Amino acid sequence: MDLVTSPPSHLVGNATLLVGRQLCKLKNHTGFGLDVQLFRNSFFNNNLRTGIRNRLFSKGSEIPISCSASNGKDLFQRANGKLNDARVIYAVAPAMGHNQESHPESHFRVPSIVSALEKMELTPELRGSEIIELKDFKRASVDDIANVHTRTYVSGLEKAMDQASQQGIIFIEGSGPTYATANTFQDSLTAAGAGIALVDSVVEASKLSQNQPIGFALIRPPGHHAIPKGPMGFCVFGNVAIAARYAQRVHGLKRVFIIDFDVHHGNGTNDAFYEDPDIFFLSTHQAGSYPGTGKIDEIGQGDGEGTTLNLPLPGGSGDVAMRTVFDEVIVPSAQRFNPDIIFVSAGYDAHVLDPLASLQFTTGTYYMLASNIQQLAKDLCGGRCVFFLEGGYNLKSLSYSVADSFRAFLGEPSLASQFDNPAILYEEPLTKVNQAIQRVKHLHTL
């Protein structure tokens, strides 16, 4: 893996320009000012700048759970034996040491979600055994990572940590302003390890309880852009891809269905499984957005032909578009594939307030997706389902949307009406959306 010791100006400059343009575009569409700021709002600054690190790593009332494939039922017996009451199992890996000042993929992202969960009383301290937080989980091993990424890349990144330690921040060669600090390698192993621990937990829960809990990995760095040979687009290791291979290898869950609703195409996951008939990758993303991949006619090849489905949505697509996509594309694709487990690359950057794209999802859209995907998993694979955090760069919309997803998992009413402002939305390009849907249905005989 090649590294450069200073930021490639065209990449960093383009990213900064993109943020600026999207913020201006958003203000023009919405009339919003302060609410679309990427990092500045009073609630999150007050919480994040004072004490959030301590809250993330302090000993709370949750019972620590050590996760590995060999733990068996003991893993949950240590959680007071109340797995039957659990509705959500989550793990937190905030990568506090992996950060670049003013970068959109910052170390404020996961803490902001944790703050929102606390504010909305969606934590184990307030919900008891209904919500479980996994703690003391193991980092992923190099072998786990190497089931998706080349060992040359993995070892190259590990060696680069010395350079990062000396220079503070280095930029990893690849597409997009993907940076590394001295902590990046270990933080990335931790993120992947959180996903693996949740796979273990969800699979074990499916053996012990009919009221299957759903898993959510609140992790960074994100992963769906990372290609087998290297990093890309803020992503270091492909967390969902690593978990998919782990589920197959360790738990014998051969058929894995991956839904990626991030606003950007998950090219790394796409590439990792493009010829694999046992992993179905379905991505909805904004047409023409970074990284420019995910065309509608990219459907897999060889033995994997037909198990990749890409649906680029026109700018301005929102709640109506995504509800239609879910009913007409996602559900029949999943039903036909008949998976053993469902994974979700959960990017919250399609939100209308997010500065890096131009879709019009709302908090309510994400509630709908969380609820419907949970039901789909119950219908098809015993409820086995894990969400993995990907994008989402407006801290307010990111945090409230994840929190409302938790409410969906719990079967509680959405609070989206408290956060969403319908007045900022504009007419969706539904004719173009329907044309795209009909084309993808024709290509995949849905």
DSSP string, 260-308: E-SSS--HHHHHHTTT-TTEEEEEEEETT-TT----TT----GGGTTSE
Q: What is the C-alpha to C-alpha distance for residues 68 and 199, in angstroms, rounded to an integer?
A: 10
pLDDT of residue 176: 57
The overall average pLDDT reported for the chain is 85
3-state helix, strand, coil in the chain (%, to 5): 45, 15, 40
Q: What ranges in 305-411 are assigned the alpha helix state H? A: 319-325, 331-337, 363-381, 395-409
Nearest to 361 by CA among 444, 408, 424: 424
pLDDT tens sequence across 48-64: 444 444 444 433 333 33
Q: Is the pLDDT of residue 120 over 80?
A: yes
Residue 163 near residue 226, CB atoms below 8 Å: no
Radius of gyration of the chain (CA): 20
Q: What is the reported pTM?
A: 0.86
Q: What is the C-alpha to C-alpha distance for residues 313 and 310, in angstroms, rounded to an integer?
A: 10
The most confident of the ranges 19-23, 38-42, 217-221 is 217-221
Q: What is the C-alpha to C-alpha distance for residues 72 and 257, in angstroms, rounded to an integer?
A: 24
pLDDT tens sequence across 413-428: 999 999 999 999 999 9
In the numeric block, the tokens 């004719």 are attached to 431
Q: What is the C-alpha to C-alpha distance for residues 308 and 258, in angstroms, rounded to an integer?
A: 10
End-to-end CA distance of the chain: 41
- ∠ CA 30-32-34, nearest 5°, is 160
Q: What is the C-alpha to C-alpha distance for residues 302 and 294, in angstroms, rounded to an integer?
A: 17
- Cα 439 from chain centroid? 27
Listed by start position, the domains of the chain span 79-416+424-444
**What single-letter DSSP state applies at residue 318?**
B
Nearest to 63 by CA among 38, 83, 35, 33: 83
Strand positions, DSSP E, 136-191? 170-172, 179-180
Q: Which two tokens stand for residue 37?
A: 């700021």
Element (H, E) at 199: helix 184-208
Element (H, E) at 9: helix 9-30
Q: Is the pLDDT of residue 78 over 50?
A: no
Q: Is the pLDDT of residue 364 over 50?
A: yes
Residue 348 near residue 391, CB atoms below 8 Å: yes
Q: Is the pLDDT of residue 43 over 90?
A: no
Residue 341 near residue 257, CB atoms below 8 Å: yes
Is 225 labeled as catalytic in the residue annotation?
Answer: yes
Q: What is the C-alpha to C-alpha distance for residues 164 and 48, in angstroms, rounded to an integer?
A: 25
- Residues 6+ away with beta carbon under 8 Å from 177: 7, 8, 11, 12, 15, 103, 171, 234
pLDDT of residue 240: 98
Q: What is the C-alpha to C-alpha distance for residues 438 and 446, in angstroms, rounded to an integer?
A: 9
Give the 3-state secondary structure of residue 393: coil
Residue type at 105 in one-letter notation: E
pLDDT of residue 44: 37
Catalytic residue among 225, 251, 285, 351: 225
pLDDT of residue 92: 98
Mean pLDDT of 313-319: 98
Mean pLDDT of 270-298: 97
- pLDDT-derived band at 68 (thresholds 50, 70, 90) equals very low
Q: Is the pLDDT of residue 16 over 50?
A: no
Give the rounded percent of residues in the chain with a pLDDT score beyond 70: 80
Q: What is the C-alpha to C-alpha distance for residues 217 and 240, in angstroms, rounded to an integer?
A: 10
In the numeric block, the tokens 């969606």 are attached to 122
**Burial letters 285-311, b for 16+ CB under 10 A, else e:** bbbebbbebbeeebbbeeebebbbbbb
If one looks up domain 79-416+424-444 in CATH, what number appears?
A: 3.40.800.20
Give the rounded percent of residues in the chain with a pLDDT score beyond 90: 76
Q: What is the C-alpha to C-alpha distance for residues 432 and 391, in angstroms, rounded to an integer?
A: 25
Mean pLDDT of 386-400: 98
pLDDT of residue 30: 34
Q: Is the pLDDT of residue 434 over 70?
A: yes
Mean pLDDT of 57-76: 38
